[in-house]
Structure 1
């Protein structure tokens, strides 16, 4: 599995995605976890729609988000 640090991203995206993944990891309770996941996934979906990143990077980001949620 990839780690966020392994991806080559512009610093502004790295910072924002890191914050969103941390919110998923830190969330408590099913509702808060789901909300944090949806917010992070929505951000990645926006990047996908804008075609800012490769398909492989987008897929890796979704996997990273889901992995953060599963750690609970």
Structure 2
């Protein structure tokens, strides 16, 4: 695993970043496909709430959706292949 920051290049308020990191960690801890899907739904709901209340600009909202989707995809592939989590891809 590397020390790469999956949020590099995405500017977020401190509290939003903290919750985003929690959602990323939840995705990374998922050990079954249904857990990945549940974590992804929660993360997407979090982003949708930020979007609806106007807390972030559209580009940042899209970046978060893409990040969560990408992490979930890698995590599902890792689970299917029996390899480590998405974090080993960083």
Q: Do structure 1's residue 9 and structure 2's residue 29 form an aligned pair?
A: no
Partner of 2:81: none
User: What count of residue pairs does the alignment treat as equivalent?
Assistant: 70
Give the alignment's Cα RMSD to 1 decimal: 0.9
Equivalent of residue 68 in structure 1, options 68, 71, 76: 71
Q: How far is 1:5 from its partner?
A: 2.7
Give the SS at the match of 2:11: coil
Structure 1, unpaired ranges of 5+: none
Equivalent of residue 45 in structure 2, options 42, 47, 59: 42
Could you state the TM-score of these two structures normalised by the residue count of structure 2? 0.73
Could you state the TM-score of these two structures normalised by the residue count of structure 1? 0.90
Structure 2, unpaired ranges of 5+: 1-5, 76-90
Inter-partner Cα distance in structure 2 for 1:27 and 1:39: 13
Inter-partner Cα distance in structure 2 for 1:63 and 1:21: 12
- TM-superposition CA deviations, 1:6-65 (whole Å, max 9, x none): 211111110001110121122111110110000000000000000110000000000000
The structure 1 segments of at least 4 consecutive aligned residues displaced by more than 4 Å after TM superposition are none
Higher helix share: 1
- The structure with the larger Rg is 2
